[in-house]
Amino acid sequence: MIPPRLTSDLALFLDFDGTLVEIAPTPDSVVVPDHLPGILAETADALGGALAIVSGRTLDDVTRYLHPLVAPGSGSHGVERRRADGSIAAPDPEIGRVAAEIIAGVAAEIGTQPGLLFEDKPWSAALHYRGAPALEAECIAVMQRVVAVYPGWEVIIGKMIVEARFAGFSKASAVDAFMQEAPFKGRVPVFIGDDRTDEDGMQAAEKHGGYGIKIGEGSSIARYRLTNPQDVWNYLAASRV
């Protein structure tokens, strides 16, 4: 189950929360170790730039946390994407308008309850219940009811979070798009992630002849496993191409 060392023919796709950094009580309380941007930059150089961060967070958020690194990446579960040349594949502004409506509808229905955190992202709508795990079923049910009236939208469930996103975008769609472009095209993709939504990215990696690496416990289609983000840092640092 231990993943093989990285080789120069790979394309590496990395989730952020729970993979590169430990999951925190709130999205804005994550701690990024000082050495992480450097490890990622060195790994990207060794792979000819074929490294991308694929996250449910926005691109701006991930870039802010990994400063000074500005890597190719996908944010908001595939809705937005920064190509290797720095150009941005931006979504239709209508997606943002509907996302704001959805989170407002969820907030109106579930009300203010201790431990819940509403996250009004630019391109999706998220409700965190890490501080109130007993409300999981209610949070999911409310999100599903609100989203049901918006054609083309779907509900995804992660670690203590339920989120609405525009269907057709996912971490799989992000991997598919990158694999059509240099420097990712023609390489063997590896997707490293810890959450349910990362399984989509792993499936895409397998489709393109690669594999997944699961972080932590739980069922997964991944071929290999690592224990936690520190294992990921050590793996990247030890896997110099």
Whole-angstrom distance, CA of residue 198 vs CA of residue 223:
13
DSSP symbols for 184-207: TTTSEEEEEE-STTHHHHHHHHHH
Q: Where are the alpha helices (DSSP H) in the chain?
A: 36-46, 59-65, 93-110, 136-147, 171-178, 198-207, 229-238
3-state secondary structure (DSSP) of residue 39: helix
Say if CB 192 and CB 232 are below 8 A apart.
yes
Instruction: Based on the residue annotation, tell me whether 92 is a catalytic residue of this protein.
Output: no
3-state secondary structure (DSSP) of residue 59: helix
Say if CB 126 and CB 157 are below 8 A apart.
no
Nearest CA to 23 out of 127, 171, 130 is that of 130
Token pair in block for residue 51: 């490294």
Q: Which of 15, 194, 198, 200 is an active site residue?
A: 15
Point out the residues that are catalytic.
15
